[in-house]
């Protein structure tokens, strides 16, 4: 993959992650649940700033490594970070 295509792909993943981070700060409650217990209740609550930083760090780290070294595993981590935002919103906005 050329450097320009990697730049566009990593840049769009980073932009999506940043938009989802800001959106999460606006719409999510002050504490968010990171796990769903077997009985369906939310478990392991954390402050939303910390809970939203986890997928952002995954996306940033994966994008930087993929852009510099073109490792597919790093791209997977970057996509996983965006996917974790979707799960976080789904779990906490029911």
Which H or E run includes 60? helix 48-69
pLDDT in tens, 48-61: 999 999 999 999 99
Tally Cβ neighbours within 10 Å of residue 86: 11
Helix, coil or strand: residue 22: helix
Q: Is the pTM of this model over 0.85?
A: yes
- Per-domain residue ranges of the chain: 3-92
Tokens of 85: 């935002």
Can you give the pLDDT of all 94 residues of the chain as single tens digits?
888 999 999 999 999 999 999 999 999 999 998 888 888 788 888 999 999 999 999 999 999 999 999 888 999 999 999 999 999 999 888 7
């Amino acid at each position: 993959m050329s450097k320009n295509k990697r730049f566009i792909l990593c840049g769009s993943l980073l932009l999506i992650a940043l938009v989802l981070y800001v959106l999460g700060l606006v719409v999510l409650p002050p504490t968010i649940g990171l796990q769903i217990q077997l009985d369906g209740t939310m478990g392991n609550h954390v402050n939303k700033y910390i809970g939203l930083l986890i997928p952002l760090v995954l996306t940033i780290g994966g994008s930087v490594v993929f852009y510099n070294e073109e490792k597919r595993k790093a791209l997977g981590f970057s996509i996983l970070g965006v996917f974790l935002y979707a799960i976080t919103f789904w779990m906490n906005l029911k």
